[in-house]
Amino acid sequence: MNRAGCTVHRQLSCALKLALQGAVTCGLIGWVIRDQELDHQLLSTVSQADWRWLFAGAAVYGLVEILGAVRWHLLLRHFKFDLHWTEATRLLLLAIFFNTLLPGLIAGDALRAIYLRKRFPDLKMGAVLVVVYERVLGLGALIALSASTLWLRAEWLHRSAASGHLADLTLASLAIGGAATALSLLTVQYRSSKQPFTGTETHLPVSKTPGWTVSSLTIVLGCTLLAHLCYGLSFYCTGRALSPSHAPSILDMLTLTPIVNTFTSLPISLSGIGVRESLLQVLVHDLCGLPGAVGVLVGSLGFAIRAFWAIAGILALACCRRLNWKECFAQLTAKARRKHRAAAHPQDVRPVAAIQQT
């Protein structure tokens, strides 16, 4: 297949994926609002909401982003990236915006890896690993919190058949995801350890990366766990805003949010829209005895808070004149063009050593 054919095929695949995600999103939203009684419940719930708790939820979610920034800085330092904290924060804010509001959930991660590879050509492997490690830390914390809360509250979750099936499916999905992630890391570790290290490579093998100190590892893991807890607390504040007298407890929300996060992280719909509301509608109604409208609004407002902080970060960059859309999209599109060229003409792709010799 020639270069034009590869490009067209890839574009059609992306368009089909987006169309399917859009169809699922619209279908789930239509299923949620299909009941006219639910529409009246939504209006009644919004009119009686305590907006002070909603602002509190937005403030608590701000701690999630702050803790994520601390973790990101420590990971960059661990992988020997000499990047000023302002530039590192700029890169993180751009990634948060792309991951939150663009389809795919990984555009921001790709942007960070591409930027670091271009900025630090001698640390190409580290540019990928620093992003992968951040994802692995988040997945590990999600698995730990999910396993503990779902095990401790198994009886409560199995009060209804629907919530029980969702809890069991969550555990199975996390087990598969954790096993696949561990296998991938072990494979990379094994392959890099087999390569001789002479000091002239353009990347640092995984086996040669510096080890963690106890203090750094404690801070990184602590930030990751606290970020997940603050995420659940932001949903608790949103529930208190919508149902001040009969809101789900903190423990209830900390139990339900891992289930929701597991399914919204899958590429089912656009940014998890529709999936989040559908799950919370069922879980809040069956387990907490609250109207389904409360669960729908908790999911919608929870995502709105995330989107608010993503947009606020971009606006802050724009006000500081640190926002460069052309640079961001040029990096992403350049990476895609290189993949298309390599797929269409593999004989034209020369190793790095050959290029340096010429």
More confident residue, 73 or 343: 73
220-242, pLDDT tens digit by residue?
999 999 999 999 999 999 999 99
Residue 202 confidence (pLDDT): 46
Predicted TM-score of the model (pTM): 0.79
Side-chain half-sphere exposure of 259, counting CA atoms within 13 A? 28
Residue 333 confidence (pLDDT) above 70: no
pLDDT category of residue 41 using cuts at 50, 70 and 90: confident
User: Which pair of tokens denotes residue 337?
Assistant: 């063009």
> Quick check: 109 pLDDT over 80?
yes
Burial of 122 (0-12, 13-18, 19+ CB in 10 A): exposed
- More confident: 9 or 141: 141
For 162-182, b/e burial (b = at least 16 CB within 10 A) is ebbebbeebbebbeebbeebe
At residue 217, the pLDDT reads: 84
Mean pLDDT of 303-330: 82
pLDDT digits 0-9 by tens, 247-299:
889 999 999 999 998 898 887 877 888 889 999 999 999 999 888 888 899 99
